[in-house]
Homo-oligomer: A and B are copies of this chain.
């Protein structure tokens, strides 16, 4: 791994070196390293680009890291990763993609991640997207996440895109059986002329299933963001979605959440707010000695924390 790749790895996976436990590091389309454990197997797909991550029933306190690094300008790929999480397992999965593009060509990573959680399985899934580069080449990432939750399964998703992605279309699909729970926290910040679209659709099919979707975003510069969500309550379920956005400079944000109750025992709630940073908040911090820019930064960091 060179220095550029090491830095990307730190940005997307919080890792300074090769991680413990199971991992698969993909760099510029090649396998840079892989480790499996007694409970976690990683198998290269034979029909298309990507891997299968197979986690044995009952596996607990283990983690899987599958970072993807692109440091060659103009590198474009589409990868399919499938996750099979056995009954009663409780694991952490850290994915993410970092692009370093110092050329003039477009670098692009499309990843389709499909999760199959068996009964009572629990997954904490962390995904970070990061781009950098002093060239003119665009960085594009289109992550698609599909989540199938069986009875009593829990999935906690944290996705973050803070910097350097010129264009992204983030698609998430979920279906939940009885007692399943899906918790999604999304954070997005865009700047310059960037564009980000997020598109959620969740079917609450099982009794006592629940979904909590929290999206927080900041649009700076001339960037544009679109938020779409669909939550279908098809059983005695609880759904909550919340999308809050701060706009700065000439940023534009659209929020379009949709709730549908197809069952009388479905309970669905949505909230959205779009606006700039309140003047009083800025003034309060500025009286404490911060410049306007520092005060803004502090508020934005707190909002996305």
Contacts and interface: CB of A to CB of B under 8 A. Distances in A.
Oligomeric state, in number of copies? 2
A108 to B, nearest CB: 27
Given A259-B272, A270-B255, A272-B259, A264 B245 contact: no
Nearest to A271: B271
Nearest to A253: B261
Nearest to A245: B261
Nearest to A240: B273
Given A254-B258, A255-B258, A256-B258, A249 B274 contact: no
A272 B239 CA distance: 11
Interface residues of A, number: 31
The interface residues of chain A, by DSSP majority, are classed as: strand
Interface in A267-284: 267-276
Contacts of A274: 233, 259, 261, 266-269
Contacts of A271: 270-272
Contacts of A257: 256-257, 270, 272
Contacts of A273: 268-270
Contacts of A275: 261, 266-269
Contacts of A267: 274-276
A111 interface: no
B247 A254 contact: no
A262 interface: yes
A264 B250 CA distance: 6
9 contacts: A253-B260, A253-B261, A256-B256, A256-B258, A265-B276, A269-B272, A269-B273, A270-B271, A271-B271
Interface of A: 233, 245, 247-262, 264-276
